[in-house]
Structure 1
Amino acid sequence: MKLHKNQQKLLLLLQKHIAEPLSMEELAEEMDISSKSVVHHHIKQLEKKGYLIRNTTNPHYYQIKNPEEKVVYLPMYGMAKCGPEGTILDGTPTRIVPVDPGMVQFPIKKGFMVEAKGSSMEDLIHAKDWLIVEQSNTPKVNDIVVCVNNEETMVKRFCTEGDSIILISDNRKFIPIIADKGSFKVEGIVRSVIKRGIGEA
């Protein structure tokens, strides 16, 4: 779909600063436009035309999807720190990662990534693997989830026993964890694993 010249310029700016997004004021200044509302209009047009997908949890961050290119961009979040609302998704992405759209079999706007740490989910998931995650708080039993429990972010299998939520590690050296219902939160369901540690000890 054809883009207005200002939309082309805006898209290039957004892509250039995707790791550290500019404010509306800064975008207007870079484009030599006096009104923030004009910038907002062009952003909405980029969304409508399929070039831009804004993060539903934190609209300041976005994904660029060129309909003519076979690549999508997902935000990567650190697992060690939660944002202001107690979720990793309202914090600042550590990087923006281009991935093959074939690896994202759900709405792109719900996608994010995390880098695995530790050995609790071996042999399926190893430290430094990249996980493609679908944002959701309604997992099914035995789904692998990215979750927060007692302010600790982790990757576990979601299981239940009566009224309790049990977080299971694939590595049986780790004992199951009974989730604290007052603090437990599912961030999303792991849908794909990108292996990055092959050959490491």
Structure 2
Amino acid sequence: MKALHPKQAELLEILKANISDPLTMEELADRLNLSAKSVVFHHIKQLEKKGYLKRNPANPRDYIILKDPEKNVIYLKMYGMAKCGPEGTLLDGTPTRIVPVDPSMIYFPACKGFMVEAKGDSMQTLIAPHDWLIVEQNHSPKNKDVVVCVNNGEVMVKRFTKDGENVILQSENPQYNPIIADRDSFHVEGIVRSIIKRSVSC
């Protein structure tokens, strides 16, 4: 990874410190003692080019730190599984926290990663309530993939199965019946790639 200009290193630290409440270009310029927003934008583009930062093209204040030059970590946004609107997506919501993660836990481009905290017991014993799930943003799961999805506005974690024209959402817990996904409202947010267990049952 390429070395950073001193201003870029300073900018990266400011971006990390304010990732949960991103600053405007004007505020960044003020923090960096720069007179022009264009200079800030140049340094941001350089951080992207050098692989330290990934920004959402549709929202410049929405970004992910891909690499911390002082610590071997990446930062993933965690989202709550709150109910979405009719056209809603989990990733439109406000992250509940930013989680530092060892890069060795990510087997896909970090810019496609996010996390959710599981709720409910429908996926036990595979996933317990409050487990942290590392998810790859991917809208094309394969049969039997465990996915984070939205169905009729409800965010859920289920095992994805295609049965002819229907998508069946299956729980691991046999107490829960399979769900036939609604064709108009169902969409997949991502595929669960790792599970961080937060409690140990004896």
Relative to the length of structure 2, the TM-score reads 0.92
CA distance in 2, matches of 1:135, 1:3: 29
Q: Deviation digits for residues 161-198 of structure 1, max 9, x if unmatched?
A: 22111100000100000100100010000000000022
Question: RMSD of aligned C-alpha atoms?
Answer: 1.9
User: 73-82 vs 187-196, which deviates more?
Assistant: 73-82
Matched residue, 2:103: 101
Cα deviation, residue 117, structure 1: 0.2
Q: Distance in 2 between matches of 1:181 and 1:38?
A: 47
- CA shift digits 1:3-62 (9 cap, x unpaired): 222112111111111121111121112222222221111001011112212246754222
CA distance in 2 between counterparts of 1:83 and 1:27 reads 33
Q: Any conservation in 2 of the 1:166–1:179 contact (CA below 8 Å)?
A: yes
Matched ranges for 1:1-201 at <5 A: 1-55=2-56, 59-64=60-65, 65-67=67-69, 69-82=71-84, 86-199=88-201
Greater shift after overlay, 124-133 or 68-77? Answer: 68-77
Runs of 4+ in 1 over 6 A off after TM superposition: none
Give the unaligned 5+ runs of structure 2: none
Deviations 1:106-163, CA, capped at 9 Å, x for gaps: 0000000000000000001000000000001000000000000000000000012221
> Percent identity between the aligned chains?
64
Query: How many equivalent pairs are there?
Result: 200
> Per the alignment, in what secondary structure is the counterpart of residue 9 of structure 1?
helix
The 1-side partners of 2:9 and 2:115 are apart by: 27
Counterpart contact for 1:83–1:89, Cα < 8 Å = no
Q: Does the CA contact (< 8 Å) of 2:150 and 2:187 recur in 1?
A: yes
Give the whole-Å Cα distance in 2 for the aligned partners of 1:177 and 1:167: 5
Which whole-Å CA distance do the structure 1 matches of 2:78 and 2:85 have between them?
14
CA distance in 1, matches of 2:10, 2:20: 18
2:61 counterpart SS class: coil
Higher mean Cα deviation, 20-29 or 111-120?
20-29
Q: In structure 1, how many angstroms separate the alpha carbons of the residues matched to 2:99 and 2:45?
A: 23
Specify the code of the residue in structure 2 equivalent to 1:154: M
